[in-house]
Amino acid sequence: MTQLTELVSSVSTYSTKLGLVATGGLTAVTAKDTAKGGVETKLAVVAVAVNLQANGDLIKLQSSGLPLVKLPVHNNMGVPANFRVVRTNIAGDMLVSVDKPIYGTHGTIFAFWKPSLGPTPANINDWFFRHSNGLSFNITGLTPNTSYPFAAAYKGNDGEAFVWTAIMTKSAGD
């Protein structure tokens, strides 16, 4: 593989130039920086070749010795902690919130059902969803003095199924 031979040669040149920086002044620093750029360019070529040869095989990629971009990690987001549903000062508005999760999320999904549409569906995925990029959301337009079921789930970083809180029924603000 000529790319690998060229990379090894570039690394050697860079090491030599790096050693001269301590006593060589500004010219030596410029030469070292140029050599470093050569290493980075040749390393990129080798990395592309490794990726093509590995063809998505994670074992081959890891055995290359090249640093890999962060591998996707599946974190079970679990049940949201401290789910709260609180009346606001505006009739028909409810503030829903949860605590910050252990892992980073893409926000929180809050679900609710309008009793005026009939019995609450057993499958929570048939309810109304509201996405919040944070940990709370103000649900508006509810009928005052009417009880609504609410639930919440963290939105993870991948397509994992939601893990819902227990259903909480609260009366919308009057």
Amino acid at 82: N
Per-residue pLDDT of the chain (174 residues; tens, 9 = 90+): 577 788 778 878 878 877 887 777 778 778 888 878 877 887 777 777 777 777 767 777 777 777 666 555 566 778 888 999 999 888 889 999 999 887 766 778 889 899 889 899 999 989 999 888 888 999 999 999 899 999 999 887 666 678 899 999 998 865
Contact 120, 149 (CB under 8 A): yes
pLDDT digits (tens, 9 = 90+) for 14-49: 788 778 877 777 787 788 888 788 778 877 777 777
Give me the pLDDT at residue 72, please: 53
Between the alpha carbon of residue 100 and those of residues 37, 159, 165, the distances in Å are: 43, 20, 14
